[in-house]
Amino acid sequence: MNKPDITVGILNSIRIEFHICGYDLEDGNYNVEYSNGAISFNGKTYEELLFTPNNEGAYFTLNDVTIGIQFHWQRQEQQTFHGALKFIIENEKITAVNIISIEEYLKSVISSEMNSNASLDFLKSHAVISRSWAYARIFHYSHHSLYDVCADDHCQRYQGIQRITNDNAIKAVNETYGEVLTYDNNVCDTRYSKCCGGKTELFSTCWEDQDLPYLICKDDPYCNTNDTKILSQVLNKYDLETMDFHDWEVKYSQEELSEIVENKLHMGLGIITALTPIEIGPSGRIKYLKIEGTNNSITIGKELEIRRALSTSHLKSSAFKVERSNDNFILKGQGWGHGVGLCQIGAAVMGEKGIPYNEILEFYYPHAIITKLY
C-alpha cells in the first residue's frame, strides 16, 4: 500500500487567527470566524475552506492553540505546520484541520510527545508505535467523526514543526518508514504513557473489558530514574515542570476533597467520608473506586474517570493508596498516565543505555512483531 494521509484537528474556536505562506492564497495574516452556522472569511461565508500548499516549503501558523486541555500543564501556543489547511464547522465553532502525510505527521508527534534530542533508538521505537496507533485510527476506528485524530493528549501530541529541534526525529521516522507493530496480521493498538511507575497495566483496567496479548502487566525496571541529564534530554520543557511523576503525593482536607468531587461529579454526595478501592488492576491502578459521602455514595471507574474526579485537573495516575490523617485525605501514588503499553520514561532510559529499538518494542509489546506496511 501507499503511505496514507492523516487528518488532524488542531484548534476549535469561534475565531481563528492564522498566517499562511506558500499556499493558493496570498501570503499573509488572516482570520476566520463562526457566524450564523457558517465560516466567515474575507467578507464571504463558506461551509468549509481548504488551502493547499504550492510547494514543499509551504507552511501555516495558528495562534492561540491550546495544549494539555484540562491537564495541569494546559497553556496556549503559536504553532506552525506543513501540509494542507482545512477549516470546518464543529460544535458551533470552527476547527482547523491539517491534512498531511502520516510520515511527516510522525516527525512532529515524536518530537511533541518527547524531546527530539532523545536517543535515536528511543525515537525510532516511538515512531513505530505512533505510526501503528495512527494507522489503526485512520483505517479501523477513531474517537472523532470529522477527522482522524486530534492534536492533543486525548490522542497523541502533534504540536507543529517547531518541536523538531534535532535531526534524530527525522532520521527516526525515515529509518522506520512504513513500520508498524502487528499481532495476528492486525495492526496493534499501541497504547503508551509517560511513566508506568514500575509496572505496566492491562488494557482492561483502563478501557473496554478485554485484554490484548501484547498489552500485559509486567515489571519495568527502567522507568524509575531521577537522572536529570536523561530526563532533560527526553522530556519537553513543560513536562519538566512535573518531576515527581514516579512517586507522588496529594493531600486534601475533607472540605477540599468534597468540593472537588462535587464540582466534578455533581452527585450531591455531601462531605466525603471514605475513598475505597473496589477493584484494582495488577499494576496497582484502581479500576473502580467507591466514594462515600454523608448524603450518598457512588462507585466510579475506570482509570481516567477516577483521576478526573479527585483533582481540579487530573491526578497523575490511579495507582494510589489512600491514607487518613485527622480530617485529611492523603493520596500516595506512582506513575504518570494509564501505564498501558510503552512507558516513555522507561523506553527513553533503555535507549540511553544503547538498547536497540526493536528490543525496546519487544519488551513493551510482547508477541507483537514489526511489519513493514509500505
Give 6-18 pLDDT, tens digit per residue: 999 999 999 999 9
Residue 330 resides in a domain: yes
Number of domains in the chain: 1
For 149-187, what is each residue's pLDDT tens digit? 988 777 898 989 988 878 999 999 999 999 999 999 999
Those residues whose C-beta lies under 8 Å from the C-beta of residue 284, and which sit 6 or more positions away, are: 197, 199, 319, 334
Residue 269 resides in a domain: yes
Q: What is the dihedral of CA 144, 149, 150, 156, to 10 degrees?
A: 130
Residue 27 resides in a domain: no
- Res 144: pLDDT: 81
Q: Look up cell 466534578; give the residue.
A: 264
Helix runs in the chain, H state only: 102-113, 120-139, 167-175, 203-206, 228-234, 254-265, 303-309, 344-352, 357-364
Residue 280 resides in a domain: yes
- Res 71: pLDDT: 67
CA 146-152-158 angle, 5° bins = 95
- Res 75: pLDDT: 82
Residue 169 resides in a domain: no
CB atoms < 10 A from the CB of 302, how many? Answer: 22
- Res 136: pLDDT: 87
Residue 195 resides in a domain: no
- The percentage of residues in the chain with a pLDDT greater than 90, rounded to a whole number, is 79
- Res 142: pLDDT: 66
Name beta bridge partners: 62: 18, 79
Helix, strand or coil, per DSSP, at residue 151: coil
With a cut of 70, which residues of the chain have pLDDT below it?
1, 69, 71-73, 141-142, 236-243
SS3 content of the chain, % helix, strand, coil (to 5): 25, 35, 40
For 327, the domain range is 247-334
Helix, strand or coil, per DSSP, at residue 115: coil
- Res 153: pLDDT: 76
Name beta bridge partners: 79: 62
Residue 134 resides in a domain: no
Distance CA 345, CA 339 (A): 11
Those residues whose C-beta lies under 8 Å from the C-beta of residue 186, and which sit 6 or more positions away, are: none
End-to-end CA distance of the chain: give it in Å, rounded: 5
Distance CA 147, CA 60 (A): 19
Those residues whose C-beta lies under 8 Å from the C-beta of residue 308, and which sit 6 or more positions away, are: 70, 264, 314
Half-sphere exposure in the Cβ direction for 16 (13 Å, CA): 30
Distance CA 42, CA 324 (A): 60
What is the gyration radius of the CA atoms in the chain, in angstroms? 22
Residue 78 resides in a domain: no
Q: Look up cell 473506586; give the residue.
A: 289
- Res 240: pLDDT: 62
CB atoms < 10 A from the CB of 223, how many? Answer: 28
pTM for this predicted structure:
0.92
